[in-house]
Amino acid sequence: MAAGLACLVLPLALQVYGPAYAGAAKMKVVEEPNTFGLNNPFLPQTSRLQPKRDPSPVSGPAHLFRLSGKCFSLVESTYKYEFCPFHNVTQHEQTFRWNAYSGILGIWHEWEITNNTFRGMWMRDGDSCHSRSRQSKVELTCGKSNRLAHVSEPSTCVYALTFETPLVCHPHSLLVYPALPMALQQRWDQVEQDLADELITPQGYEKLLRTLFEDAGYLKTPEESESTQQEGGAQGLVFENLESCNKAHKELSKEIKRLKSVLTEHGIPYTRPVETSSSEHLGSKTPTGRTAEQLRGNPGLLGNTL
């Protein structure tokens, strides 16, 4: 009966008030975009994206430079990964937790070179992970389009990414020698000749090639890597005396109590944050005996194959 009464009232209202009544009855629904906790005022400051340093200069094969300034994303389980070539790798937890993780998995550092070939891009000095920094190795493979194809975590806080691109489909697209300027190519030729004439040992050959790659900007010198780690490392507070230390401790304790009261006021439970790796969400870890260090192998060609 109520439905019938409604059907009777609506035509009468249209006759009395005209079409304006029908327009007034329309409702516009506005969907609020999901920010996955990134704009939450209670998000810990340490979870916001704060790079420890600037990325290294763009280097390597010139035809890959066009990827600089672009970013490619992939959603795996509850995480969204974003790879920005020659810039960084980031991870964003796609949940509605108030403290959803969002962080940097590495900043562009250097190439990995094996057998005269660019084998991967190393992104280092990411967010802190226990006593180390997160880092990622990006492997470039042939594909029909530019896309981030796969992400895994073979060991704790060390990530492996696979990026597909048609820019590396040519068999010579990732060779190091053609990417070098003429002066460095001539240096390499001389190193090859010295090895053939037995003027240098295989160990000396590899050392000279590494120096050559460092001069080209493809690899970082040990001193540069150490300096970068010191600049990007966590810096603790330094106090002149015990009194200033105790004063700072009291202020921090007071701030913690204030934040707890704010959380309690809004009905948000608080616990000590536990740092977890994304492997817990991506499934079991893949056993591996490889370390996070670069595995360069033989960095050059032998004989007259240049």
The fraction of the chain above a pLDDT of 90, given in percent, is 49
Q: What is the pLDDT of residue 76?
A: 87
Whether the Cβ atoms of residue 102 and residue 49 lie closer than 8 Å to each other: yes
Evaluate if residue 71 carries a pLDDT over 60. Answer: yes
> In the sheet where 147-155 sits, what is the strand order?
72-76, 79-84, 88-93, 102-114, 117-124, 135-142, 158-165, 147-155
Cβ(143)–Cβ(165) below 8 Å: yes
- Give start and end residues of each alpha helix (H) in 134-278: 182-196, 202-216, 222-232, 242-265
Fold of domain 47-175: Cation-dependent Mannose-6-phosphate Receptor; Chain A (2.70.130)
Averaged over 5-9, what is the pLDDT? 50
Res. 21: pLDDT tops 80? no
Q: Check the CA dihedral 208-212-217-219 and report its sign.
A: negative
User: Which residues have a Cβ under 8 Å from the Cβ of 123 and sit 6 or more positions away?
Assistant: 88, 89, 105, 106, 107, 108, 109, 135, 136, 137, 138
pLDDT at residue 46, as a whole number: 43
| Percent of the chain with pLDDT strictly greater than 70 | 66
pTM confidence score: 0.60
Average pLDDT, the chain: 76
pLDDT-based confidence at residue 240 (cuts at 50, 70, 90): low
CA 115 to chain centre: 27
Q: Does 279 score more than 50 pLDDT?
A: no
Radius of gyration over alpha carbons of the chain, in Å?
Answer: 28
Q: What is the pLDDT of residue 4?
A: 54
Residues of the chain with CATH 2.70.130.10: 47-175
Which two structure tokens, joined as six digits, stand for 203? 């160990």
Digit-coded pLDDT (tens) for 32-62: 333 333 344 444 444 457 888 999 999 999 9
When pLDDT is averaged across residues 255-269 and rounded to a whole number, the result is 80
Torsion of CA 146, 150, 155, 157, to 10 degrees: 60
Closest by CA to 300, choosing from 183, 210, 228, 214, is 210
What is the Cα–Cα distance from 35 to 47, expressed in whole angstroms? Answer: 14
**Alpha helices per DSSP H over 18-110:** 19-24
Closest of 140, 142, 163, 167 to residue 151, by C-alpha: 163
| Average pLDDT of the segment spanning 245-274 | 76
